[in-house]
Structure 1
Amino acid sequence: MMTNSKKQSCNGNRISGFFATSLTLMIAMAPCLNSVIGAELKVDDLFRSDHLLEIQIKMLPSDWSKLRKESDRGNGGFGRIFGGSPSSGNRFNLYKADITIDGNTISSVGVRTKGFIGSLNPERPSLKVKFDEYLDQSPVAGLDRLTLNNNVQDESLASQYLTYKLFNKAGIPAPRVSYAKVTVNGEYLGVYTHVESVRAPFIKRHFGDYSGEFYEGTIADFYPKAVENIEAKNKHTKKDRTQAKKLAQILETKESFNLAKVEKYVNVDQFIKFWAMESLLGFWDGYTNNQNNYYAYASPKDDMRFHFMPWGADGAFTESRGPFSRFRGDGNEPKAVYSQSMLANRLFQLDGIPNRYKAALEGILMDVWNEEEIKDDVKRIHALTRNHLHPRQDRIDQGISRLIAFVEDRRSSIESELQDWPVQVQNGPRIPRYSVEIGKLKGWFDTAWKSERLWDVTGLGKAELELTLNGEQVTFSSLGVLGQPEESRRWFGGRGRGRSEQTRKLNPTITFQGVSEDKSQQVEITLTINGKDFESGKKNVPFQGSLTVLNADEDENEFGFSRFMSMKALDGAFKLSEAEMNEGGTVAGTLKMNINESRGGFNFGEGRSRGLRR
């Protein structure tokens, strides 16, 4: 059951007065009497490396069905890629459930799916469990939630554990990790990685405080036009982004960059070690290579300077620079230094920083990176989990083989670059993606619902649209519109391992296709609506919208990289006067929207330079 009801306190209900009866006390405490059943749970026991947790979750079957179908495609998660703003609300809904951990039951917790693009999975979703969503309870001292990752992208089951262990060994705050057998409503989902959530308990444990600016970066970086896209993680930060904005101003250009100024806002020694660890571990999807999967905390106990922490490490221990690396020509990038992010790239251009980086990396190779210890951990993890895998986790042997090969080769490949130092890196950072309004769209439509998706809707329905792009009005020689299910698509060419064979209920869409009056451009507009919001007479319908403009001679059925990246995001007002999802039913409404284009992102062509030797 999804609800926004007020929390019931279970941490000390009080009944005053000498004459309070036992019955009154029982009534007052009833919601909390069974919130935790069993022996006391201790946080250290939940992160034992030699123990496989047994986790069982029970929730309404209808809620479980809804949870596993949620994705970023309809809730604004892709907005930051195509030029729209990230979703202003919650990306995923929380549902009420009971959870049992090694025989200890905690009732009325909140459960939701988690992930972004590659890790979202309807059959075996990654899960967040929030203990105090419905009851004011703290069943595990020092832990307020669980993060259970499905390992869809971590086929070895070892990448996350090893990455965070090595970061901690290097003195960089990183989550603790264990493993769990996860069952929901009697359905076994396999072995999940249980990762400590980077929230208030974690920050307080490592920094002794939680009042500083605290951010999570997801395809976002410290750049004036994009700094608002870095997610604020506590109440203070939502009100005050002063430190982040000042750092972004310093990083904006080479001319504005100054090491003395940066050191007022960043603990540079800590960052260099963090940076060297990401590069050594082949963590392509982290901050320094992909402006992704990181936390930054401005510690009041360190003059409000930012400290960086890793997250989302299921893609470490790989030679690849990510799914778009071939478009950037990353084959010639050094292995020893990742340098796509604003801070990493700007720093490496400075006098003295390459040598400080080299010293940090050499220290890590000497004191942290131990091939035999790493391989022993992999063997132990395999022995612990191999008899409990889900049928979809059948590539563990291949995953382990790739990871071991990486570990055995990494030292020599890094040391060969250290012998010819400094290496060449991009002349400039990848400017993070930000949104610019480039046009307006308004009009009306009246069409029918088609249950089978059509690729060509030309000539269908009736519509009038006024479209302005970059100050010029686009008029149509032909325009079609149709109500139909959204396109079922796997993003970025994933192999589909661990993905569900079940049919996911597709959300309704309104699809427009038109040709400009001079026949030079094809325009496609797609409005995706959550099924629960597709109602006749509904005003202010939430939607996810995109607009694509192609040259008329391009293949209209091709969904290549250029078309993917040319999408514009839509936001504004959308009303449905008729919304019938039966075959041939009427679908009609009006729209008035802004068109936003994404700028920055994907660094495709800057030259290279060596870091300064001095």
Structure 2
Amino acid sequence: MVRQHTTTLVRAGSTLSAMALALTLGASACGSDPAQPPSGTPDASSGGGPSGDGGGPNVPDPDPSDALFDPDHVIEVGITMAPEDWDTLRRQSRDVAELFGEGCMDGPRESPYGQFPASVTVDGTTLEMSAVRKKGFLGSASMSKPSLKVSFDKYVDGREHAGLEGLTLNNARQDPSLIKTCLAFKVFRDAGLPASRCNFAHVTVNGEDLGIYAHVEPVGKRLLARHFTDADGDLYEGQISDFRDGWTATYEKKTNEDDPDRSELDAVAAALLASDAELDAALGAVLDIEAFRRYWATEALIAAWDGYAANANNHLVYLDLASGKMSFLPWGPDVSFDPVDTLGPPGRPQSVSANGAIASRLYQTPELRAAYAEAMKDLLETAWKEDALLLEIERMEELLSPYVREDAEAVRVATDAIRGFVTGRRATITAEIAPTPPEWMFPAHATVCMTTLGTMTGTFSTTWGSLAQMDPFASGTGTLDVAIPADDPQSAEIVGAAAGQEGSEPGLDGRAQLSMVGSFPDGTVRALVFYVDAEVFNDGGEGPYDWQSAFGVAIDYTESEPVLTGIFAGGKIHFDKASREPGAPVTGSFEATVLGDAPF
């Protein structure tokens, strides 16, 4: 019985851990401070942009920042800082229990990232006394290649470089092609929607080559002035945020922070309570509803799984004071252009995502579902130009080729997959929406907050490469003690362990995987899967379950189909011995607080 379940441990572990990532990626992904430099003043750095990027009456043209967003230019960014500061910066991380434990939706998630002084050189110009900090939520978190926010004016008041107060550098950790972020922003702009400019940066820190980053324009007053009549309205960032009961408090105000008024959010939420007959008018009074339909359709068209419509994540909303209406802007679209939506609910249509409250309410109303389909058709006719997109992909690929020689094959494979997506997307979408758009049968999550189920502790002893045997008992052993619930502790009677290279989910590639399984006296069969960063997976290494050091899930194998029962928050994993040499011993211990009851 035990072996019957464990023969599929590794594959199912990978699949189920992807389900856990559904709540966190990218929440992905780019996260944190799109609108402001670290000093906390409203950003005025975003420039007028190149032709075709929209225009506003309050922004001069040309803009001094155009050169740093030249799509054909890879900017060179060299950062020099105290080695101990860099080590502290890259190890800073978010508390998973705080993000997803009880009360997680009481307000915006506070940033754990500190500022550090640095000398920053941009294309040969050095700006001493700049500031650097880490950025990102969970999916993009990395110790070896952290996303970075650079401020030129933190310590030198009012300083700019080429019209910018700083740089936003996203690490593309979830994107082996490196081009998805900039390509996604281009599609939003081609659709006539407000979106950041984006090009690439080659980044070094203290002489260490960190590779290619996406250099993203922050959403600030100049960008807003290009697209809205009034740039002085309220801007909010949404990370696991929505316009439904209990969710609006997580929106983080990015401009006018001293004004506590958030009534515009409540007005949108209230409009969603209108009857079907009155919904369009009620919502249209507080939301630019036609622009939203186009934004929503664009997210679905590029498979922006970790955005608003699909995951209530990675988006911005702005109140244009002139119209009195809210509008959506994209943010963190690096989980896009995937041929198969592996992280969405099984069987979901490709032509629509409707987990976000606005998208869900509109799509469940028949007349308004038809309006969405028309918006998608118009998008395909006016903005989705395959030949132009393929040329843009080729341009980006050639531009980056000198920087990715060591990873050229992985980049090529990932880029070819995007080409395939672009080539086949029109047929996929058209087949689904004609003659009528598909049903959306997936209810939105009531909450993302989890409860504490109990604890797990144990030890493991196995060898590297044993994961390929698909049977942990064949090459490993250990102990596994479970207190779920806390007043019902049990020790596994039989324990197996295996380790190796596994995991193809975005954000997990390249990590070591450790899998354990145990059979308990009450007849349950539990499995654990750990994904461990290279800096932790070594002799004497240890790290918390913060999604960058280690990521752990608990799985129930008692029935024929495995069920993901929890994720690991408090505690840590420790390795006495760990090496990627074939047959090398992998030994150590772990302790964990298990969070569960999440809407996986």
Report the counterpart of residue 117 of structure 2 in structure 1.
96
Of residues 308, 319, 326, the one that matches 1:298 is: 319
Q: CA deviation at 1:174?
A: 0.5
Distance 1:253-1:569 versus aligned 2 partners, 3 A rule: farther
User: 2:501·2:510 contact (CA, 8 Å) conserved in 1?
Assistant: no
Distance 1:499 1:437, change over 3 A: closer
> What is residue 220 of structure 2 aligned with on the other side?
199
Q: Structure 1 residue 250: deviation in Å?
A: 3.9
Deviation of the 1:287 alpha carbon: 1.1
Q: Does 1:352 align with 2:367?
A: yes
Superposed, 1:232-271 pairs within 5 Å as: 232-236=253-257, 239-251=260-272, 258-271=279-292
Distance 1:412 1:237 in 2: 49
Instruction: Name the counterpart of 2:95.
Output: 76
In the alignment, which of 60, 64, 73 is matched to residue 82 of structure 2? Answer: 60
Aligned match of 1:340 in 348, 352, 355? 355
Match of 2:332 in 1: 312
Aligned to 1:368: 383
Contact 1:159–1:315 (Cα < 8 Å) also in 2: yes
Contact 1:547 1:567 in 2 (8 A): yes
Are residue 329 (structure 1) and residue 346 (structure 2) matched? yes
Q: Which amino acid aligns with 1:306?
A: M
Residue pairs, 1:67-216, within 5 angstroms: 67-71=89-93, 75-77=94-96, 79-85=98-104, 89-140=110-161, 142-216=163-237
Equivalent residue, structure 2, for 1:19: none
Which range moves more in the overlay, 90-99 or 206-215? 206-215
Question: In the TM superposition, what whole-angstrom CA distance separates every residue of 1:118-163 from its partner, at most 9, and x where no partner exists?
Answer: 3222222221212222331331365333111222222223222221
RMSD of the alignment, in Å? 4.8
Structure 1 CA distance, aligned partners of 2:133 and 2:480? 36
**1:295–1:310 contact (8 Å) kept in structure 2:** yes
| Deviation for aligned residue 1:300 | 0.9
Which residue of structure 2 lines up, in the alignment, with residue 43 of structure 1? 65
DSSP 3-state at the match of 1:157: coil
Amino acid at match of 1:311: W
Name the CA shift for 1:521/1:213 in 2 (closer, same or farther; >3 Å): farther
Which string of whole-angstrom CA distances, capped at 9 and with x for unpartnered residues, describes residues 7-46 of structure 1? 8x9xxxxxxxxxxxxxxxxxxxxxxxxxxxxxxx931001
Give the match for residue 399 of structure 2.
384
Worse-matched range after superposition: 407-416 or 47-56? 407-416
Residue 367 of structure 1: how far off its partner (Å): 1.7
Q: Is the 8 A contact 2:339 2:418 kept in 1?
A: no
Deviations 1:215-241 (A, max 9, x none): 212222211112212222234487222
Q: 1:246-302 CA deviation, whole Å, 9 max, x = no partner?
A: 322443697898222211221100000101111111222211112121111121122
Residues 78 and 121, structure 2, Cα contact 8 Å, conserved in 1: yes
One-letter amino acid of the structure 2 residue matched with residue 146 of structure 1: L
Q: Which residue of 1 aligns with 2:423?
A: 408
* Post-superposition CA distance 1:41-66 (Å, at most 9, x none): 93100100111211111111111112
State the percentage of identical aligned residues. Answer: 28
Task: Select which of 241, 248, 255 maps to 1:220.
Answer: 241
Partners of 1:434 and 1:418 in 2: CA distance: 31
**Preserved contact between residue 182 and residue 189 of structure 1 (Cα < 8 Å):** yes
Q: Secondary structure at the match of 2:402?
A: helix
- Which SS does the other structure have where 2:77 is aligned? strand
Kindly state the Cα deviation for residue 489 of structure 1 after the two structures are TM-superposed. 12
Q: Which structure would you say has the larger RCO, counting Cα contacts within 8 Å and 6 or more residues apart?
A: 2
SS in 1 for 2:119: strand
For residues 397 and 569 of structure 2, the distance between their equivalents in structure 1, rounded to whole angstroms, comes to 44
- CA shift at 1:329, angstroms? 2.3
State the secondary structure of the residue aligned to 1:239.
coil
Q: Which residue of 1 aligns with 2:413?
A: 398
Count of aligned pairs between the two proteins: 485
SS in 1 for 2:112: coil
Does the aligned pair in 1 maintain the 2:139–2:507 contact within 8 Å?
Answer: no
In structure 2, the CA distance between the partners of 1:298 and 1:78, relative to structure 1 (3 Å rule), is farther
8 Å contact from structure 1 (residues 221, 227) kept in 2:
yes
CA distance in 1, matches of 2:501, 2:288: 40
- 1:188 is paired with a residue of what secondary structure? strand
- Deviation per CA, 1:415-472: give whole Å up to 9, x if none: 2233221x22225641352548899x9xxxxx9xx9999974759xxxxx9x9x8xxx
Question: How do 1:279-290 and structure 2 match up within 5 A?
Answer: 279-290=300-311
In the other structure, the counterpart of 1:426 is: 440
Q: Within 1, Cα distance between the matches of 2:104 and 2:383?
A: 40
Distance 1:53 1:567, change over 3 A: closer
CA distance in 2, matches of 1:385, 1:251: 45
Q: Distance in 1 between matches of 2:417 and 2:281?
A: 42
Question: Quick check: which has more Rg, 1 or 2?
Answer: 1
Deviation at 1:100, TM superposition (A): 0.8
Tell me the TM-score normalized by structure 2: 0.67
Checking the alignment, whether the CA contact within 8 Å between 1:346 and 1:428 is kept in structure 2 is no
- Distance in 2 between residues matched to 1:394 and 1:425, nearest whole Å: 39
SS of 1:117 mapped into structure 2 = coil
C-alpha contact 1:58 1:98 (8 A) present in aligned 2: yes
How far apart, CA to CA, are the structure 1 residues paired with 2:129 and 2:421?
43
User: Is the 8 Å Cα contact of residues 119 and 153 (structure 1) preserved in structure 2?
Assistant: yes
Q: Determine if contact 1:83/1:433 at 8 Å carries over to the other structure.
A: no
- Residue 320 of structure 1: CA displacement? 2.8
Q: CA deviation at 1:170?
A: 1.5
**Cα displacement (A) at 1:107:** 1.9
Displacement of 1:492 = 7.3
**Which consecutive unaligned segments of at least 5 residues does structure 2 have?**
1-37, 42-62, 463-476, 492-498, 513-519, 529-543, 577-592
Does the Cα contact within 8 Å between 1:267 and 1:306 map onto a contact in 2?
yes
For 1:69 and 1:490, locate their aligned partners in 2 and report how far apart those are by CA, in whole Å.
Answer: 23
